[in-house]
Structure 1
Amino acid sequence: MEEEEDEYMILQIMGWCFGFLVLYILVKLVHSIWWKPKSIEKLLRKEGIKGTSYKAIKGDIPDINKCAREASSKPITLNHQIVPRVMPFFHKMVQQYGEVSVSWFGRKPRVTIVDAELIRLILSNKSGQIIKPPREPYVKLLTKGLTSLEGEKWSQRRKAVTSAFLLDKLKGMLPAFSYSCGTMIERWKKKVEQKNGGWCELDVTCELDILTGDVISRAGFGSNYQEGKKIFDLQKEMAILVHDALTNIYIPGFRFIPTKKNKRRYKLDVQIKGILMDMIQKKEHAMKADGSSSDLLSILLECREQRNSLTTNDVIEDCKLFYFAGQVTTKNLLAWTMVVLSMHPNWQEKARHEVLELFGTNEIPPDFEAINRLKIVSMILLEVLRLYPPVPIISRYTTCETKVGGMTIPAGVELVLPMLLLHHDGRYWENPQEFNPERFTQGVSKATKDQNAFFPFGWGPRICPGQSFAHLESKMALAMILQHFSFHLSPSYTHAPCTRLTLSPQHGAPIIIQRISI
């Protein structure tokens, strides 16, 4: 009898435990799915922030995807009013709710801010209250490295990476820039010679892929495009898979389910890391034999030896980031520049006149001071960066209740800073949809109406460390193209800017090039 009572008591206790566990899980789910988002929504409303109301689980994701599908389904006319196509949902939010608004990516609250002063405050924050958003596991497969760090770890790594882009290092990279650009020019000359009409049609996105890949490989890793091509191809595929994951709700733990896409993502990651490990081992042997070098990989390996905090895996992650970010952003900048100069042949001629006046038909020397005398070319690149910034959106995240201007933003809110909208905002720019490089005649600080609203590479302590590298590479490449070729849009070109992690031409950029006669 006593044994039966004991068994009954044990079963009763187990039943209570199970009941409490179920209740705990239900409470956590209700808190996560409903109570917490609604509490944040209430706090944001108190601050006068308008926007969409929270909808359980999905939030605004269906509307975001619908807007993106509709916008990408058809090209636009040949102009620079690209915001409604590139960022249709955020464009709609600003039109309906103003420069500060709230929306929902699933359960995540997003506060979109299109105000230059507030954006500067957010990007300049060093308190630790505003950080880079916690990375989705899928994003970490593509780019991790420096961009994923905070605090002292970020500070140490930033110093190491920044040292690779100091002035003396950039000057040392110019011969690599010149060689890669010269190789592309010779390739284009041969393509034109093969045509009886003296002209040739190229998809410049593919051609500039090769150029920027070769520059990254030579200047960053002491190799060449053919050695880095496998990494570029794998990263392009990874970028597509990551973008696909980011447009859907992330379910915790789903990445461990062996779906076809998940298996492919992790296989790509293993392959990329394996190739980079081989490159690191080769570089280590070369450094032992020949001493130090000035490329990024050598500098990171030297820092690894000097600092115990930097591991081989850290070096691999920074290499992944540099390969992806360094190539794709510069490629898109140059592609958009050729598209824009095809749309505005008068500016193409002005830039060509400047290049020929400075360098004639001689090979452009890898000389830092000479390249810096290209004022019109530089102004054109800045204006293209304004109209077609490589990264249209920057995001930050509040770790605790934070003051942003006069607003109090609760913890756990993603701050969305759509740079593309800011760059096209008539409050800061005269005739913002007009291509007018002359607005940069007196530099960036004087280009806007009253305050700086130009952030193509970010702002503050986390501004892109490679922006000087990208600008110098772009100036040399554009100067050498202008020196040898005139170009205009192919009849097959369709104007369809779109965001695939970066701002790129959805259907490529077919352009007709022709040798110039001096």
Structure 2
Amino acid sequence: MDAMGMLLLLFIASLCLVLLLALLNVWYKYWWIPHRIHFIINSQGIYGPPYEFIHGNSKKIVRMQREALSKPMGLWHDIFPRVMPHYHSWINKYGKNYLYWNGIRAQLQITEPELVKEMLRNSEKAFPKMKPTYFFYKILGNGLAATESETWTRHRKLANHAFNGETLKNVTPAVVASVETMLQKWKSEEEKEIEVFKEFKLLASEVISRTAFGSSYLEGEKIFEMLTKLTVMATRNLFSTRIPIISQLWKSTDEIEADELEKMIHETVMKIIRRREEKLLTGEADNLGNDFLGLLINSYHDSDEKNRLSIQELVGECKLSTLQG
């Protein structure tokens, strides 16, 4: 066999080895570990729907939701079986505490009040925050909702300072003006039907944007709109499963759009930050602002490294504060 043949044979052997290792990794991660977790939890007296390869119970949940929503709803207040049909069904079947699978991620559902209190107390830090999924990370970033320990404490102090009672009193005139504008609009459309949910959503967007971004509230409203789109995508893909290997080579339409929205949000926030920094440098302003964004920028420039925010944390907090509207 010549040298070229040897090289070709070596290449094919290497390729086969890589594929074999990839398949073993998929088997270990998507079959062996879930079944082992299921066995261990079952041995402790906690049961639940069986795990399905790769998808877990995600497909079943989607089917149950579609079936529940396809049926007409009677005149009663018991909406739990309609909104959360999988929870309702599995609580009745497996008990108050059960195990189910969101893809390959094991989810221990707890509804007993005493256990819920113990977990929320988390005195020994035994229950870390769940890692956000692909789409929810686009929304939360490195903000308060996704951080823990000292980082969480630092972010929490900033939020408390920006949104305490005394500080919020200063934005009361802006809130009143926004409400009056909305009411005037309603008066001019007395004979038309008004979609109140949409109107209050717009009001909340304007109010929180003024609170968080001050004079740059129009850009804040744009950020709010983009985050709303991301939230819709995250909800739509809540029970979608990322297929191993394929998901690393190919992105869905929602994933591509989510990446674009995340990039646009980052650029919008950075534009607002640069504008404030330039005004301070040119003497047009005495400070970076007394609103939440001003506090964040000051923390970003803090001389003490322990208190300094990274740019990712700053943008994450802007996302979260805007979304709270």
TM range (shorter): 0.7 to 0.9
1:236 aligned onto 2:233: no
1:262 and 2:260 are equivalent in the alignment: no
Identity across matched positions, percent = 29
Q: 1:212 aligns with which of 204, 216, 239?
A: 204
Matched, 1:148 2:146: yes
Describe how 1:51-66 pairs up with structure 2 within 5 A: 51-66=48-63
TM-score, normalised to structure 2, is 0.85
Q: Map of 1:390-405 to 2, 5 A cutoff?
A: none
Higher relative contact order (CA 8 A, sep 6+): 1
- Compared CA separation, residues 119 and 286, structure 1 to 2 (3 A): farther
Contact 2:299–2:309 (Cα < 8 Å) also in 1? yes
Q: Does residue 282 of structure 1 match 2:282?
A: no
> Structure 1, residues 327-367: CA drift from partner, whole Å, max 9, x if none?
2xxxxxxxxxxxxxxxxxxxxxxxxxxxxxxxxxxxxxxxx
Q: 1:74 to 1:15 in 2, by over 3 A?
A: closer
**Greater strand share, structure number:** 1
Q: Are residues 1:321 and 2:320 paired? A: yes
Query: Shift of the alpha carbon at 1:125?
Result: 1.3
Cα deviation for residue 6 of structure 1 reads 11
Aligned counterparts of 2:12 and 2:268: Cα–Cα separation in 1:
54
Match of 1:107 in 2: 104
Q: CA deviation at 1:275?
A: 1.7
Match for residue 163 of structure 1?
161
The alpha-carbon distance between structure 1 residues 22 and 211, as it changes in their structure 2 partners (threshold 3 A), is closer
1:61–1:106 CA contact under 8 A, matched in 2: yes
Pairs within 5 Å for 1:12-91: 21-74=18-71, 76-91=73-88
Question: Which of 248, 262, 269 does residue 240 from structure 2 map onto?
Answer: 248
Paired residue for 1:183? 181
| Cα gap change, 1:15 to 1:231, in 2 (>3 Å) | closer
Matches of residues 282-321 of structure 1 in structure 2 within 5 Å? 282-286=275-279, 289-291=285-287, 293-306=289-302, 307-308=304-305, 309-321=308-320
* Alpha carbons 1:213, 1:225 under 8 Å: kept: no
2: CA distance, partners of 1:238 / 1:256: 22
Q: Distance in 1 between matches of 2:210 and 2:184?
A: 18
State the match for 1:366 in structure 2. Answer: none
User: In structure 1, how many angstroms separate the alpha carbons of the residues matched to 2:249 and 2:2?
Assistant: 44
Length, aligned pairs only: 317
CA contact (8 A) 1:33 1:107 kept: yes
Q: Deviations over 1:134-172 (max 9, x none)?
A: 222222222222222233322322222232122322233
- Please tell me the residue identity of whatever aligns with 1:47: Q
Question: In the TM superposition, what are the counterparts of 1:364-403 in structure 2 within 5 Å?
Answer: none
SS at match of 1:111: strand
Cα–Cα, structure 1 residues 11 and 166, in superposed 2: closer, same or farther, change >3 Å? same
Amino acid of the structure 2 residue aligned with 1:202: I
CA apart distance, 1:216: 0.7
Cα 1:224–1:73 change in 2 (3 A) is: farther
> What is the one-letter code of the residue matched to 1:166?
N
SS of 1:112's equivalent?
strand
Aligned mates of 1:10, 1:218 — CA distance in 2? 66
- Deviation of residue 51 (structure 1)? 1.2
The alpha-carbon distance between structure 1 residues 233 and 19, as it changes in their structure 2 partners (threshold 3 A), is closer
Give the root-mean-square deviation of aligned CA atoms.
Answer: 2.9
In the alignment, does 2:193 pair up with 1:201? yes
- Cα distance change of structure 1 residues 189 and 225 upon mapping to structure 2, 3 Å threshold: farther
With over 3 angstroms needed to count, the CA separation of the structure-2 counterparts of 1:159 and 1:10, relative to structure 1, is same
Q: Give the direction of change, closer, same or farther, for the CA distance of 1:71–1:138 in structure 2 (3 Å limit).
A: same
Per-residue deviation at 1:49? 0.6
CA contact (8 A) 2:132 2:146 kept: yes
1:110 Cα shift? 1.3
Residue type of the alignment partner of 1:184: M
Question: Residues 418-433 of structure 1 correspond to what in structure 2 (within 5 A)?
Answer: none
Task: Tell me the secondary structure at the aligned position of residue 56 of structure 2.
Answer: coil
- Offset of residue 278 of structure 1: 1.6
1:204 shift after superposition: 0.9
Q: CA deviation at 1:64?
A: 0.3
**If the length of structure 1 is used for normalisation, what is the TM-score?**
0.55
Aligned mates of 2:202, 2:102 — CA distance in 1:
36
1:322 maps to a residue whose letter is S
Return 106-115 or 299-308, whichever deviates more. 299-308
Structure 2: gaps spanning 5 or more residues? none
1:202 is displaced (CA, Å) by: 1.5
**Aligned partners of 2:54 and 2:243 also within 8 Å:** no
Superposed displacement of residue 312, structure 1 = 2.8
Q: Show CA shifts across 1:279-332 (max 9, x none).
A: 2223334556133533111111121122544123321221112212x12xxxxx
Contact map agreement 2:213 2:293 (CA 8 A) in 1: yes
From the two aligned structures, give the one with the greater helix fraction: 2
**Matches of 2:137 and 2:103 in 1, distance apart?**
20
Whole-Å Cα distance in 1 between the matches of residues 236 and 82 of structure 2?
18
With over 3 angstroms needed to count, the CA separation of the structure-2 counterparts of 1:20 and 1:171, relative to structure 1, is same
